[in-house]
Amino acid sequence: MSEPDAPARAGRPRLIVLVGPTAVGKTATGIELAERLSGEVISADSRYLYRGLDIGTAKPSPAERARVPHYLIDVTTPDRPWTLAEYQQAAYAAIEAVFARGRVPLLVGGTGQYIRALTDGWQVPPGAPAGPLRAELEQALAAGGVGALADRLQRVDPESAARVDLRNPRRVIRALEVALTTGGSFVAQRQKSPPPFQAVWLGLTLPRAELYARIDARIEAMLAAGLVEEVQRLVGQGIGWDLPAMSAVGYRQIGNYLRGECSLEEAVVQIKRATRQFVRRQANWFKPHDPAIHWFKSSPAAASEMAAWLAAGEP
């Protein structure tokens, strides 16, 4: 990500973007920073969208959300997934509304695709997933796994196959849908149109060993808070295991346990392993040496340090 020059940035309002790996402390730091800046928080977490996914997503509590206004949390149900285009449209509207009130918008989260789509102004291919085609691709996924779909994407849209995560079935299916319904490349259609604001990037970081210890403690706390019961309740409400929301880290592994495919102890090990893998994927979106991101060590003083840096006239 390149930093825009001063003339291009002049006169544009600032969107504060707070990023970092899962469990690093973005929620608490973002809330405190918003309080210091007279700001409001726009969530950039793809799982916060879903009502009922609370414990396993470490969603901000009602008390935390009462401290500052939050947007794009609990806006849909797990059986009604949002597309990236829907998220982008809603997030832009929320950002503009915050600006209109004379307050500071803070985009806080760890879903890199969402954040880049907003800050880089991606022109996201519109439209909901195609019904019959989506069903066909879901059947192909069940029959042959994501590898078969990835092979198909490489044949019909090699440009996208080289750039999307071929291990992520949702990304592969969406790229195939766009390529097969439009006849064009998924990534080629994702042109950019700079948004009418200046993104100021802040990052939270911790040494990897400290972060992993925090992840382990958070997973244990989720279990104590009722993660298994939360997943049982969702399934009891008719939420299918095959829905994208239920593929989230934690929900997928507890599903393995509830279906008798592993013990609870094995599921916990799987959650911890998958979370570490997720942290490594997040690093591909927010690189430690990206000059546009000003990094702060996660600590109780992080929000005050960020506020002081911003007040000093940076960037």
Distance of alpha carbon 101 from the chain centroid: 26
Mean pLDDT of 130-145: 83
Element (H, E) at 205: strand 198-205
pLDDT > 70: what percent of the chain? 92
Cα 300 from Cα 33, distance rounded (Å): 11
Mean pLDDT of 186-194: 73
Mean of the per-residue pLDDT values for the chain?
90
Cα–Cα nearest to 76, from 243, 235, 199: 243
Q: What is the pLDDT of residue 128?
A: 55
What domains are defined for the chain? 10-124+192-311 (3.40.50.300), 131-189 (1.10.20.140)
Report which of residues 189 and 135 the model is more confident about: 135
Cα 123 from Cα 179, distance rounded (Å): 15
What digits encode the pLDDT tens for the residues 103-127?
A: 999 999 999 989 999 999 988 766 5
Question: Could you tell me if 30 and 65 are in contact, meaning their C-beta atoms sit under 8 angstroms apart?
Answer: no
Cα–Cα nearest to 231, from 249, 265, 258: 258
pLDDT at 65 over 70: yes
Q: What is the pLDDT of residue 39?
A: 98
- Identity of the residue numbered 263: S
Q: What is the pLDDT of residue 188?
A: 67
Mean pLDDT of 162-191: 81
What digits encode the pLDDT tens for the residues 194-206?
A: 899 999 999 999 9
Mean pLDDT of 124-152: 81
Cα 62 from Cα 57, distance rounded (Å): 14
Structural tokens at position 146: 């994501």
pLDDT at 208 over 60: yes
Q: What is the pLDDT of residue 11?
A: 67
Strand partners, 76: 50
- What pLDDT band is residue 131 in, cutting at 50, 70 and 90? low
What digits encode the pLDDT tens for the residues 76-94?
A: 999 998 888 899 999 999 9
Residues 6+ apart with CB under 8 A from 21: 110, 205, 206, 211, 279, 282, 283, 286
